């Protein structure tokens, strides 16, 4: 029987986090690094990834920063090759990269809708395919998709109005469930974290405008904090989740059930 401490230990593993250099992605990358995992950060802004990697290395792990547009299959393949060249393994894929466009449904520009879908949904498939082929070869792996409670329940437009975002995250929820079924035969666990509202540099102004409504949606009347996603990320990346797959885990202070 393995101890809980060892089940949650990620020492020596390699985790790829898309869009993980800032915001909630960096919070989760930090949690994985604190549990011992080596970290790969990728985004179009490689200099931001490099700066975050430098901070993560202070935790005693190895890192890799890769310039990668995750909507482009050739760049994702190149990123995967870079990971394997440096570490000779990959254990966790976290599909975290995302974007939103705030507009009333009747005013949502089709071009913006398509951009949101491309990054929030299509990129998750592209990355899952590239990294998943390696997981299938090694007969193990963890895929963690980052959705949102906006993909589970409707949102008060006074708090947040982006139907493209919520639709893409709802699709990512079902992508998680179906991929979990398809890849269970390969000993690959596919799960999803659905955060509530977390204040990040990208949504700081939105929070300041709508703070009253956003906090009123949460039973505890507070938004997500700086450590609130770490535990969920480590659980789903670790051996502790070896019999957990297809799960949508809200980290929202109860928003989705109130």
What whole-number distance in Å separates Cα of residue 255 and Cα of residue 195?
10
DSSP symbol at 106: G
Q: Which residues contact 21 (CB under 8 A, 6 or more apart)?
A: 41, 43, 45, 48, 49, 51, 52, 53, 65
Q: Which residues contact 52 (CB under 8 A, 6 or more apart)?
A: 20, 21, 22, 26, 29, 41, 65
Confirm whether 165 is a catalytic residue: yes
> Cα–Cα distances in Å, from 30 out to 2, 17, 25, 61, 195?
25, 11, 9, 10, 16
Per the document, the length of the chain is 258
Catalytic residue from among 165, 183, 197, 198: 165
Active site positions, annotated: 165
């Amino acid at each position: 029987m393995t101890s809980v401490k060892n089940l949650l230990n990620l020492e020596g593993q390699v985790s790829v986090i898309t869009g993980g250099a800032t915001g909630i992605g960096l919070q989760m990358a930090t949690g994985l690094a604190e549990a011992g995992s080596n970290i790969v950060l990728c985004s179009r802004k490689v200099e931001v990834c490099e700066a975050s990697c430098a901070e993560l290395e202070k935790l005693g792990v190895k890192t890799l920063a890769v310039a990668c547009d995750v909507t482009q299959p050739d760049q994702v393949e190149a990123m995967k090759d870079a990971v394997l060249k440096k570490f000779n393994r990959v254990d966790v894929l976290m599909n975290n990269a995302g974007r939103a466009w705030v507009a009333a449904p009747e005013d949502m520009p089709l071009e913006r809708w398509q951009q949101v879908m491309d990054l929030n949904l299509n990129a998750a498939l592209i990355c899952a395919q590239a990294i998943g082929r390696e997981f299938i070869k090694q007969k193990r792996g963890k895929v963690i998709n980052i959705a949102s409670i906006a993909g589970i329940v409707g949102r008060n437009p006074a708090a947040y109005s982006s139907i493209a975002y919520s639709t893409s995250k709802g699709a990512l929820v079902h992508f998680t469930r179906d991929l979990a079924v398809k890849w269970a035969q390969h000993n690959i666990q596919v799960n999803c974290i659905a955060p509530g509202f977390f204040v990040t540099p990208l949504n700081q102004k939105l929070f300041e405008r709508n703070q009253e409504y956003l906090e009123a949606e949460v039973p505890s009347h507070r938004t997500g904090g700086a450590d609130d996603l770490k535990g969920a990320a480590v659980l789903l990346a670790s051996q502790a989740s070896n019999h957990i797959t297809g799960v949508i885990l809200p980290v929202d202070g109860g928003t989705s059930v109130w």
